[in-house]
Amino acid sequence: MPFTLDQFKTLSRKTFLFLFILKKDGQIVAFNNRCKLLFPIDENEIKGKYITDFIIDEDVSVFRNSVSILSDTNPITNKSFSFPTKKEGVLSLKFDFILYNNLIYATGIDTTKEHKEHKALLTISKLTKTGAWYYNPNTDEIYWSKGCYLITESDPNSTITKIKSLNFHPEDSRSRINSYLENVIKDKTPYEYTEKIITQKGNEKWVKVIGEPILYKGEVIYVNGTITDVTDKHIYIEKLKHSEETKHLALKGIQSGLFDYNIKKNEVFYSLDFKKMLGLPLDKEFVSEEEFRKMIHPDDVDQMLKRQHENLNKEGNHYYNYYRLKHINEGYRHYEVYGFRKKNSKGETTRMIGNLIDIHQKKINEQTIIENKSRLRAIVNNGFVYTILLDTEGKILMTDQKSIEIIKRNFNLDPTLVSSRFIDVIPLNFKNSFAHEFNEALKGNIVKKEIERITYKGDAQWLEAKYTPIYSQEKKINSILVSFLDITERKLADIAIKKSHIKEQELNSLKSNILSNFSHEIRTPLNGIMTISKLLLNEEIVEERKKLLEYLEESKDRLLKTITNLSNFSELEAMRRNINLHSFDTNYTVETSYREYRHMAEAKNLNYQLELDQTSPQINIDEVLFKTALNNIIHNAIKYTNKGSIIIRVSSKNHNNLKNNVYISITDTGIGIDKENLTKIFDPFVQESIGLSRKYEGTGIGLSLSKRYIELLDGKIKVKSKTGEGTEFKIIIPKHL
């Protein structure tokens, strides 16, 4: 039964609806008492006014567009508008417009609260790059929130269809995406997936989509869902996959959950998937803050509460926090919390809507990177004397602490704080050499170079510079590692070895003569042998071949005579007159030699060990002679050992009833020495492998010198060996009492 006129008048006065009668141009013809709330002027002054005089500016064009489409064939439409008022602030009303007899009958309902919440959700969508959507399988209708349009970079005023939404995905994945939606309708179970899309502007993004069916009498009437832009996290994961050291840390998935926190009621609402993930009760729609707080790691609670208090009381509406949450099966995981706060008239936060984002794997990755950097820097600072990593333009990317201190001292510059080219912070005499070796390394070559520098204390230091190209995953050179090894002791040892061969009356003058004779007497017959051998290969005339053979025999005899003379040449008395004896800690002396050759052993992956004597015995030695002898033996042990171990021991215990001696043993698992050669190894210029087929480089003079030097120090060298199993050298030196 229709309303009577009196009933209608009563309804229009008492209802909470806003009723207007308007002309098509928006001029106000009539309104009910409820509408007075919208007018900032007396109701008697309303006559002749337009409704557009009272709505906010951005809604004026919306109103005009809405009423312009009304016609006799399309007499109904609806739209929302906002009215600024003195008492209530900005009110948002949703109107139904009906055109009848050229007049518009408008019925409005207050949607201010829902409008504010909608704005908050839009802000959350922007903060978390999330949009909401639903799909009606019966009408094939699909709806997108503004967040969906923002993610796809499409026009929010355009109409979206199922086909249009699928077309944002690459063609080869569209059938798979469509199957997700079809299966959720068929199986009535939620789904989620992460896929690539191409936005309206042609940009590539990765999105995580969640869909949940809504049932009525056992049938899916529509599907609710969210879409989240996870491009940054996807790119981060892909980068991790390119790293062999951190690929096992690649993210298994990006987990996040929406929440609605009612502060007044002390209740938190979480999405179903998130409650399952955290092990929260599924039968409770809301979770109390106390119950949720029990899931936070005990070490994080105090700081979390402090940040929460600061966030809830600061200006603005945004909220941020982070802490670890306990999962149902896998311990605690790291989360970041982003929220939007709703405030009352007093500025107090009464409600917060937001998103929890799982950043656990990111935290682990960051910690791993920090630890790896720390390990790398420890290696750099404790490896070579100086280590510098350069980019392809020669700029310093990383360097060790000692290099930083030198650059600071010499150039008043910290290369870790200021971008610096290495060529600008090296001594002048390094520059030409550096430029050449650096360019060679950029071509893919490993380059070594010996250089000499003067330290700031005025001492000479010899360095072996090594330039090593570093390749990217794409096999392109992206940096150059420049390492400097201190070879000063080796250089000094070389000099000591040369000096030890002085066999004439005056030590300084005889050194140059002996070295000159050594080079000449060996090189001359050797060059003759090499030249004649080449000629013999091509000579076919018998008589000429006989002559060449005679010349070859002469060169051979001369070489043998030279070697025999050199091996019989004794300089013991001359060396004795120049010995410089001092008391030294055996442990310290042996350890310095051990460290000097550690890099060689590590390069061959050998088990390289040092066992010292706890009593730290003292020995009276010439340090140069002793270290030269010891270094020769250690060097040979590494040289002739391809796998296994090298153990260096210092002991002062009594052996075979011999007292007051110190024993230094060098034991390896190398190729060993057969019985036949064991008696010859201390002869000058003799090696275990000789002739054209020899496998190891060297003159064979090292062990001979070692034996002579130790004997000059009143010591002995003993050796035990077995072919294929290894060798033990034992140096016996009198203890300094």
4-8, 45-49, 663-667: lowest mean pLDDT where? 4-8
What are the C-alpha distances in Å from 459 to residues 383, 385, 454, 455, 705? 22, 16, 6, 5, 28
Tens of pLDDT, residue by residue over 356-372, are: 777 777 777 666 656 55
Nearest to 267 by CA among 296, 287, 292: 287
pLDDT over 50 (residue 461)? yes
Is 311 within 8 Å of 261 (Cβ atoms)?
Answer: no
pLDDT band at 9 (very low <50, low <70, confident <90, very high): low
Class at the top of the CATH hierarchy for domain 579-734: alpha beta
Provide the 10 A C-beta neighbour count for residue 509.
11
Confidence (pLDDT) at 517: 46
The fold adopted by the segment(s) 5-110 is: Beta-Lactamase (3.30.450)
Q: Please give the structure tokens belonging to residue 466.
A: 């090594």
Is 243 within 8 Å of 249 (Cβ atoms)?
Answer: no
SS3 call for 165: helix
Residue type for 669, please? T
- Over its C-alpha atoms, the chain yields an Rg (Å, rounded) of 44
Is 481 within 8 Å of 468 (Cβ atoms)?
Answer: yes
Separation between Cα atoms, residue 673 and residue 653, nearest integer Å? 28
Cβ within 8 Å of residue 147, ≥6 positions away: 122, 125, 126, 129, 130, 131, 132, 227
pLDDT over 60 (residue 125)? no
Q: Whole-model pTM above 0.85? A: no
Average pLDDT, the chain: 78
Q: DSSP string of 599-630? A: HHHHHTT-EEEEE--TT--EEEE-HHHHHHHH
Is 97 within 8 Å of 66 (Cβ atoms)?
Answer: yes
Q: Is 520 or 332 the better-scoring residue by pLDDT?
A: 332
**Would 115-229 and 383-486 be classified into the same CATH topology?**
yes
Cβ within 8 Å of residue 123, ≥6 positions away: 317, 340
Average pLDDT over residues 439-457: 81
Separation between Cα atoms, residue 234 and residue 469, nearest integer Å? 30
248-257, 545-554, 590-599, 681-690: lowest mean pLDDT where? 248-257
Separation between Cα atoms, residue 702 and residue 695, nearest integer Å? 17
- CATH architecture observed for domain 115-229: 2-Layer Sandwich (3.30)
98-107, 264-273, 429-438, 715-724: lowest mean pLDDT where? 264-273
pLDDT over 80 (residue 287)? no
- For helices 488-500 and 507-538, the axis angle rounded to 10 degrees is 90
DSSP H/E element including 696: none
DSSP state at residue 298: G
Share of the chain above pLDDT 90, in %: 13
Average pLDDT over residues 207-214: 89
Q: Please give the structure tokens belonging to residue 472.
A: 């990217």
Cβ within 8 Å of residue 158, ≥6 positions away: none
pLDDT band at 702 (very low <50, low <70, confident <90, very high): low
pLDDT band at 634 (very low <50, low <70, confident <90, very high): very high
Confidence (pLDDT) at 349: 84
Q: Please give the structure tokens belonging to residue 705.
A: 């010198």
pLDDT over 90 (residue 116)? no
What are the C-alpha distances in Å from 328 to residues 255, 276, 277, 724? 14, 8, 7, 59
Q: Where are the domains of the chain?
A: 5-110, 115-229, 247-365, 383-486, 504-569, 579-734
- For helices 586-596 and 488-500, the axis angle rounded to 10 degrees is 110
- Residue labelled with tokens 């050998």: 606
The fold adopted by the segment(s) 504-569 is: Helix Hairpins (1.10.287)
Give me the CATH code for the 247-365 domain, please: 3.30.450.20
Separation between Cα atoms, residue 349 and residue 679, nearest integer Å? 93
Confidence (pLDDT) at 628: 85
Confidence (pLDDT) at 676: 80
Confidence (pLDDT) at 648: 95
Is 83 within 8 Å of 91 (Cβ atoms)?
Answer: yes
What are the C-alpha distances in Å from 364 to residues 246, 256, 328, 367? 10, 17, 19, 5
Average pLDDT over residues 101-105: 90
Separation between Cα atoms, residue 125 and residue 110, nearest integer Å? 24
Cβ within 8 Å of residue 402, ≥6 positions away: 381, 385, 386
Tens of pLDDT, residue by residue over 556-611, are: 776 775 565 455 344 555 566 678 888 999 999 999 999 989 998 998 999 999 99
Q: Is 361 or 156 the better-scoring residue by pLDDT?
A: 156
Parallel, antiparallel or unpaired: strands 607-611 and 645-651: parallel
pLDDT band at 698 (very low <50, low <70, confident <90, very high): very low
Q: What length does the chain have?
A: 737
Q: Which residues partner with 21 through β-bridges? A: 30, 105
For 230-239, the CB contacts below 8 A with 24+ separation are 230/194, 230/206, 230/254, 231/204, 231/205, 231/206, 231/207, 233/362, 234/194, 234/206, 235/206, 236/362
Class at the top of the CATH hierarchy for domain 383-486: alpha beta
Average pLDDT over residues 204-226: 85
